[in-house]
């Protein structure tokens, strides 16, 4: 096994295409426009890595009917993905997206998601500590269910560090803020899709982003990626700070999932001997490549290599 | 086993309560307002009968993830329900109803439902013929999936009649019209919720309803129930025709499921030695009782007995 993918709050992603979707009416979804896929950021990373030939074991909390469907769909995806989810009593998240291609609306219906007990967390930590010893790299990505403290990324990283594993995070500010009090990951990527806050503050100037990235490095991260105005990134290592920009037009509506592609490509690069800024270049190229077309399918390794030439990296510190 | 409940096209019924449900937005369903129940008319009848202490075996076509969820939920409902669904490769129906209690809308999203192959139908008929010999009564109720001919109610009834079983139908006109060419059930109840047609024609006068009911009796049914203006019924036996009316105010929004309660109560009455018009009285009382409150829960036997005094039966022929 190469990678342990931690997805604490997986989701069953459902997509219905219903043209002229209307309130207070009976709407019918054609069978071919009724799609279920396993989701949650950690799961997405495992799925993308499987396309690059990398074996992962995916862990997290899973429960109920929706959990069963997610597991069956995930197992169908690739023989390179194995799973060791802890079973919980409440229902896994279900995210329904209803796309109307006539009126250009996207109506989403998300379930609240499960609540995890202290007992569940204890059992999960035990299982995690057994599995973490078997892999090279740990990726922890995405939201956490109710009942789980925001500091869990830190706790998981502390255990991984006991066994000298490389750890990647992609998460929102609340999780990062609490978790870095316990341990720093090697690679820290901010998920800023819903909030632009960093350590509880809205940053505005490029200088503030650069300073924040440097601070994370000073405190213990080896590579920090802060997205800036959606399509740019500030990337910091112990050697300096760079601003990444695309050389190509980015269609914002194609950005879906590009964060997961960024992380998966960095993990691929790391497992193939790349380090530091070169890892980030590979990840950024994957994100830009992904944004060049519609759909969830990750870019191929060949496409990522091509897109390495479509990005500009400017040293800013 | 007392009853074989045939539900050819079962459905997983899902109800979300989302206040201020909006298009083109992210809507969240609270966990306690996110309900899944086994559905389809034949399944509903089996569930109601289980509340009256009657054992059923439920059969039909079931497939995919939704089929698995439905089966797990149905098995949880009552130990009196056993299942022997034929597994098919396509997904069972899923009916999502989104109730907004602020704006008073009900938005429905139904899947198209599965397609059944000829091979599946053959295998189903074999299984049905084995099971039908073990019961006293057969109830066939509800829609049929794609690939299944409208005449299947007739084919199933012909087999049941070989073993001298009592057969109940509740179905729409397309099914009844085609199926009575093959065999007549003992009890024929029209489902007129979506179309008021009888044998392809819209009837209007009471006299036309009475004539239609008499014709079905002449051709082979023992008891015929034709609903009239939603809350009334014309009921025919070999002895005559009656018009059933409620003595109480009917709240139309509470009528949901009253047809299934009508059928289940008739089956209960038959198994308890009632015949003909007395069976229909019991069924009608159950339907009226059900319409006196909100929710899916069937009326108790005690409530049905009480409502026998809340209906008026007038001989019209």
Residue A306 included in any domain? no
Q: Tokens standing for B44?
A: 């509903």
Three-state SS for A88? strand
Q: What pTM, to 2 d.p., does this model score?
A: 0.92
Q: What tokens were used for A26?
A: 């009976």
**Whole-angstrom distance, CA of residue B36 vs CA of residue B55:** 23
Say if residues A213 and A249 touch (Cβ distance below 8 Å): no
- Which residues of chain A are within 8 Å of residue B23 when distances are taken between CB atoms? 21, 23, 100, 103, 105, 107
In a domain, A301, yes or no: no
Domain of residue A35, CATH code: 3.40.1190.20
Q: Calculate how close chain A gets to B234, using CA atoms only, in Å.
A: 30
For chain B, say whether A16 makes contact (Cβ under 8 Å): yes
- Of B171, B232, B224, the C-alpha closest to B206 is B232
From residue A259, give the alpha-carbon distance in Å to each of A40, A42, A51, A233, B194: 12, 11, 16, 11, 48
Tokens of B225: 């129930």
> A23–B105: do the CB atoms touch at under 8 Å?
yes
Tell me how far apart the alpha carbons of residues B108 and B111 are, in angstroms, rounded to a whole number. Answer: 10
- Asked whether the predicted pLDDT for residue B249 surpasses 90, the reply is no
Which of A16, A91, A107 lies closest to B25 in CB terms?
A107
Tens-digit pLDDT string for chain A (317 aa): 799 999 999 999 999 999 999 999 999 999 999 999 999 999 999 999 999 999 999 999 999 999 999 999 999 999 999 999 999 999 999 999 999 999 999 999 999 999 999 999 999 999 999 999 999 999 999 999 999 999 999 999 999 999 999 999 999 999 999 999 999 999 999 998 877 899 999 998 999 999 999 999 999 999 999 999 889 999 999 999 999 999 988 887 777 678 999 999 999 999 999 999 999 999 999 999 998 888 889 999 999 999 999 999 999 98
The rounded distance, in Å, linking the Cα atoms of B47 and B272 is 18
**Bridge pairing between strands A3-6 and A137-141:** parallel
Candidates B9, B17, B20, B24, partner chain A, best to mutate (most A CBs within 10 A): B24
H-type helices in chain B, by residue range?
Answer: 41-51, 64-77, 118-132, 152-162, 173-179, 206-219, 258-271, 276-290, 301-307
Distance of alpha carbon B306 from alpha carbon A162, whole angstroms: 72
Q: At which residue do the structure tokens 């291609």 appear?
A: A101
Q: Which residues of A touch B11 (CB under 8 A)?
A: none
- Smallest CA–CA distance from B66 into chain A, residue: A69
Mean pLDDT of B90-107: 95
In a domain, B13, yes or no: yes
Tens digits of residue pLDDT in A17-31: 999 999 999 999 999
Q: Are A113 and A10 in contact (CB under 8 A)?
A: no
Between chains, do B23 and A21 touch, taking CB under 8 Å as contact? yes
Q: Which residues of A touch B22 (CB under 8 A)?
A: 107
> Is B264 part of a structural domain of the chain?
no
**For testing contact with chain B, the best of A24, A92, A106 (most B CBs within 10 A):** A24
Residue at B32 is within a domain: yes
Distance, in angstroms, between B142 CA and closest chain A CA? 18
- The answer to whether residue B208 sits within a structural domain is yes
Q: How is residue A67 written in tokens?
A: 């959990």
Chain A residues close to B27, C-beta within 8 Å: 107-110
In a domain, A217, yes or no: yes
What are the phi and psi torsion angles at B123 (to 5°)? -65, -35
Nearest by CB to B65, from A18, A72, A112: name it.
Answer: A72
Contacts with A28 from chain B: Cβ below 8 Å: 109-112
Query: What's the pLDDT tens digit per position in B262-307?
Result: 999 999 999 999 999 999 999 999 999 998 888 889 999 999 999 9
CB A167 within 8 A of CB A32: no
The count of other CB atoms within 10 Å of the CB of residue B132 is: 21
Choose between B294 and B129: higher pLDDT: B129
Could you tell me the residue range of the domain that residue A202 belongs to? 3-226
Cβ of residue A101 closer than 8 Å to a chain B Cβ: no
Q: Which of B23, B68, B88, B90 to mutate to test the interface with A (most CBs of A within 10 A)?
A: B23
Q: Is the dihedral of CA A238, A240, A241, A244 positive or negative?
A: negative
Residues ≥6 apart with Cβ < 8 Å to B72: A65
Q: Which residue has the tokens 């740019």?
A: A232
A28 interfacial to chain B (CB closer than 8 Å): yes
Tokens encoding B31: 């966990």
CA distances from A292 to A298, A302, A308 (A): 11, 14, 13
B193 vs A: CB within 8 A: no
CA-to-CA distance for B128 and B55, rounded, in angstroms? 17
User: Phi and psi (nearest 5°) for A222?
Assistant: -95, -25
Q: CA B279 to CA B259: how far, in whole Å?
A: 14
Residue A307 lies in a domain: no
């Amino acid at each position: 096994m190469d990678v342990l993918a931690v997805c604490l709050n997986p989701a069953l992603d459902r997509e219905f295409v219903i043209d002229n979707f209307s309130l207070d009416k009976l709407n019918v979804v054609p069978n071919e426009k009724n799609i279920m896929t396993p989701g949650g950021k950690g799961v997405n990373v495992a799925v993308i890595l499987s396309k690059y030939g990398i074996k992962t074991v995916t862990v997290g909390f899973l429960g109920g009917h929706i959990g069963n469907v997610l597991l069956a769909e995930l197992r169908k995806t690739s023989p390179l993905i194995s799973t060791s989810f802890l079973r919980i009593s409440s229902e896994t998240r279900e995210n329904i997206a209803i796309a109307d291609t006539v009126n250009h609306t996207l109506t989403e219906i998300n379930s609240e998601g499960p609540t995890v007990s202290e007992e569940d967390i204890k059992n999960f930590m035990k299982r995690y500590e057994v599995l973490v010893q078997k892999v090279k790299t740990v990726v922890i990505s995405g939201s956490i269910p109710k009942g789980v403290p925001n500091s869990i990324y830190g706790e998981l990283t502390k255990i991984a560090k006991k066994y000298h594993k490389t750890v990647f995070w992609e998460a929102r500010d609340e999780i990062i803020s609490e978790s870095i009090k316990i341990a720093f990951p090697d690679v820290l990527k901010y998920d800023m899709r819903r909030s632009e806050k960093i350590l509880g503050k809205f940053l505005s100037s490029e200088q503030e982003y650069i300073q924040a990235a440097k601070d994370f490095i000073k405190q213990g991260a080896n590579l920090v990626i802060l997205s800036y105005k959606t399509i740019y990134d500030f990337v910091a290592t112990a050697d300096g700070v760079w601003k990444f920009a695309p050389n190509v037009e980015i269609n914002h509506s194609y950005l879906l999932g590009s964060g997961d592609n960024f992380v998966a490509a960095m993990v691929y690069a790391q497992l193939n001997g790349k380090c530091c800024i070169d890892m980030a270049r590979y990840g950024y190229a994957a994100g830009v490549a992904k944004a060049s077309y519609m759909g969830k399918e990750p870019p191929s390794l060949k496409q990522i290599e091509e897109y390495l030439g479509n990005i500009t990296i400017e040293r800013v510190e």
